Amino acid sequence: MLIRILIFLAVFPWATLLPPDDATFSSLSAAPRAAVSGLIFEDGDGDGKAAGPFDRPLSGVEVRLGAPCSTEPLLYRSAISDEEGRYQFLSVGRGCFCIHVLAPEGYQETTPRPCAVRTSWDEGITRHDLGLARPGHIVGVVFEDANGNGIQDANEGGLADVVTDLYQDADGDGNLDAEDALLESTRTEPNEGAFAFLGYLPGRYLLAVTPPPDFTATTPTVQGFLLVTGSAGGELLYYFGLRRTDLPPRISAEPH
């Protein structure tokens, strides 16, 4: 037996266990394994960034890390966002992962769901912030502006069957451009002249009304706005005035 042990010690390739000639002590220490972390936040203005005045961290939200990168990844890890809205997955190793946030009731995602998060042993921390938002409502009234002052006075009722359109303001300039997509079209209701666009995520939109042939607008026919939801808002109210073209011009009172 002793002879066999001596033979083994003599022929074993001990050099494979030694560090290379150019190795340093720092490189011999264990390399930090990759981690994935980020912030779960309420995206009150819908811009996908967590730095705005209408944003706030969301705690107690479950985040799941799936693997491999595919349309149906298997659950690899799960975490809950802390009081500051932060989540983290430590020592995930090398690979390709998908991140999925379980939106609480009433919330929808406002940031793209990352499903190609690639990590390596020495990559350090990969950050992905995830935004959630509550949908809001855009409502308004189209009224007959008899005196043409642009304000709905007590004796001025709503106009029915007026076409009202909601657009996505692609460039956020407040003007209706060719690239602004039409999202929904409706007509005002009888008597009150009310209209509503319900369940839209925060962001920049445009409202546009089409005056009937026998009316002219006394307020801008296109109005751009930022829909803010969450604790800062949730519903916007707009008024559009229309005046009959066969009425005499409005006469302003002369000062005495």
Three-state SS at 26: helix
Q: What pLDDT, on the 0 to 100 scale, is given for residue 234? A: 82
Q: Across residues 222-249, what is the average pLDDT? A: 87
* pLDDT above 90: residue 15: no
Separation CA 62–CA 50 (nearest Å): 18
**Residues 109, 35 share a domain:** yes
Question: What are 56-95's pLDDT values in tens digits?
Answer: 999 999 999 988 787 778 888 999 999 999 999 988 888 8
CA-based torsion, 176, 132, 137, 51: positive or negative: negative
Q: Which two tokens stand for residue 198?
A: 């319900």
- Is the CB of residue 219 less than 8 Å from the CB of residue 189? no
Q: Across residues 201-222, what is the average pLDDT? A: 96
Provide the pLDDT confidence category of residue 252 given band limits of 50, 70 and 90: low
- Is the CB of residue 194 less than 8 Å from the CB of residue 139? yes
**Residues 185, 167 share a domain:** yes
| Domain CATH number, residue 94 | 2.60.40.10
Does residue 21 fall inside a structural domain?
A: no
Does residue 88 fall inside a structural domain?
A: yes
**Residues 40, 123 share a domain:** yes
Separation CA 199–CA 232 (nearest Å): 16
**Residues 148, 196 share a domain:** yes
Residue 121's domain spans which residues?
A: 30-133
**Residues 56, 45 share a domain:** yes
Query: Percentage of the chain with pLDDT > 70?
Result: 82
Provide the pLDDT confidence category of residue 139 given band limits of 50, 70 and 90: very high
Does residue 198 fall inside a structural domain?
A: yes
Q: Tell me the whole-structure pTM to 2 decimals.
A: 0.78
**Residues 143, 193 share a domain:** yes
Q: Is the peptide bond before 68 cis (omega within 30 degrees of 0)?
A: yes
Question: What are 142-155's pLDDT values in tens digits?
Answer: 999 999 999 999 99
Does residue 97 fall inside a structural domain?
A: yes
Does residue 74 fall inside a structural domain?
A: yes
Q: What is the mean pLDDT of the chain?
A: 84
**In residues, how long is the chain?**
256
Does residue 2 fall inside a structural domain?
A: no
15 vs 170 pLDDT, higher one: 170
* pLDDT above 60: residue 103: yes
Does residue 152 fall inside a structural domain?
A: yes
**Domain ends where: 114, 133, 152?**
133
How many domains does the chain contain in total?
A: 2
Q: What pLDDT, on the 0 to 100 scale, is given for residue 123? A: 64
